[in-house]
C-alpha cells in the first residue's frame, strides 16, 4: 500500500481571505533568509540596514521573474493567444511560478541593488546563495502541500498517491527537490562557516547553481511535463532551462578559482 497525501492547501479562511500553506512557506523562506543574511552581515561587521532594501528587491525580482518565466516558458500559447489572456500574466494569485525565471529575476534584482552598494556583486550573491537554497526548499514543500509539480507513476516504495490529481502512486518529485535543496543549503553553510575568506568571490553562488540545477536536471526524468507543449526531444522544457544555469555555475567556479589563485 502506498501512502495517500491529500491535505487541505488552505490553512484557514477568514471571510474571503485565505492563508495557504504555499504562501506561508513562500514568505517564510524569504523572512528566515533575511535573518540569515542579517546574521552573516553582523558576523562580518557589515551594514545590516541595507538588507531591508535588498529584501524588497529580491522579493520583487523573484515574483516577477518567476511569473514571467512560467508564462513565457511553460504556457506561452495560452498567455499570448489574446489580450485577455495576456493581461492574466499580472494575476500572480492564480498560480504559475517558474524557478528558472525567479532565479533570473533575483540576479537582476541583485545587479540593480549592487549599483548603490559598496559590496561586489559576487560578495552579495555568495551570501545570498544560502537563503536562496532555503527558499527553493520552502517553495517545493509548498508545492507538496498543493499536490502539484508531480512525478511520474511508480510502483516503487517511494510512490505517493495524490487524490487531488489522480489515484495512482507517483514519485514525490517535490520532496526529491526539497531534499536536494536542503543538501545544497547545508553544503553552502558548511563552506561559509569553514572556508569564508579563503574561497574566491563567486565560489558559493557558482556551487549553488551547479548543485541545485544538476539535481533539478536529474529529477526532471521522473517528473511529469509541466509545459503545455511537448518537445520532440528526449529532454523536456525543465531539462533545457536547467542546462544554462549548470554551465553558468561551472563558468563562475572557474573564474572564482582563477581569482583566488591570483590573490
DSSP-assigned beta bridge partners for residue 223 = 151
Give the pLDDT band (50/70/90) at residue 18.
Answer: confident
Give the mean pLDDT of 217-239.
Answer: 85
Give the mean pLDDT of 141-160.
Answer: 95
What is the distance of C-alpha 86 from the center of its chain? Answer: 24
Q: What is the pLDDT of residue 254?
A: 94
pLDDT at 118 over 70: yes
The phi and psi torsions of 15 (rounded to 5 degrees) equal 60, -120
Least confident range of 14-18, 69-73, 156-160, 238-242 = 14-18
User: For the chain, what is the mean pLDDT?
Assistant: 91
Taking the CA atoms of 13, 27, 193 and 178 in sequence, report the sign of the dihedral they define.
Answer: positive
pLDDT at 263 over 60: no
- Residue-range domain boundaries for the chain: 10-262
Give the pLDDT band (50/70/90) at residue 232.
Answer: confident
Round to whole Å and give the CA distance between 62 and 131.
13
Region of 197 (left: φ > 0; alpha: ψ -120 to 50; beta: rest) is left
Amino acid at each position: 500500500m502506498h501512502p495517500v497525501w491529500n491535505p487541505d492547501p488552505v490553512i484557514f479562511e477568514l471571510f474571503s481571505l485565505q492563508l495557504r500553506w504555499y504562501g506561508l512557506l513562500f514568505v517564510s523562506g524569504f523572512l528566515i533568509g533575511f535573518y540569515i543574511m542579517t546574521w552573516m552581515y553582523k558576523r562580518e561587521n557589515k551594514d545590516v540596514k541595507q538588507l531591508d532594501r535588498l529584501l524588497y528587491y529580491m522579493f520583487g525580482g523573484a515574483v516577477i521573474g518567476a511569473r514571467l518565466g512560467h508564462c513565457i516558458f511553460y504556457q506561452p500559447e495560452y498567455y499570448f493567444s489574446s489580450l485577455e489572456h495576456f493581461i492574466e500574466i499580472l494575476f500572480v494569485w492564480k498560480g504559475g511560478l517558474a524557478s528558472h525565471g525567479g532565479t533570473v529575476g533575483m540576479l537582476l534584482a541583485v545587479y540593480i541593488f549592487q549599483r548603490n552598494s559598496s559590496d561586489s556583486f559576487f560578495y552579495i550573491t555568495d551570501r545570498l546563495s544560502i537563503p536562496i537554497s532555503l527558499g527553493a526548499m520552502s517553495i517545493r514543500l509548498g508545492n507538496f502541500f498543493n499536490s502539484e509539480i508531480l512525478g511520474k507513476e511508480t510502483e516503487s516504495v517511494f510512490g505517493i498517491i495524490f487524490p487531488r490529481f489522480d489515484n495512482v502512486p507517483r514519485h514525490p518529485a517535490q520532496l526529491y527537490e526539497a531534499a536536494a535543496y536542503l543538501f545544497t543549503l547545508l553544503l553552502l553553510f558548511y563552506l561559509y562557516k569553514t572556508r569564508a575568506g579563503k574561497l574566491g568571490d563567486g565560489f558559493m553562488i557558482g556551487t549553488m547553481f551547479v548543485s541545485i540545477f544538476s539535481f533539478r536536471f536529474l529529477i526532471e526524468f521522473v517528473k511529469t511535463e509541466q509545459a503545455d507543449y511537448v518537445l520532440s526531444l528526449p529532454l523536456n522544457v525543465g531539462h533545457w532551462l536547467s542546462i544554462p544555469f549548470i554551465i553558468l555555475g561551472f563558468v563562475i567556479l572557474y573564474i572564482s578559482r582563477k581569482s583566488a589563485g591570483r590573490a
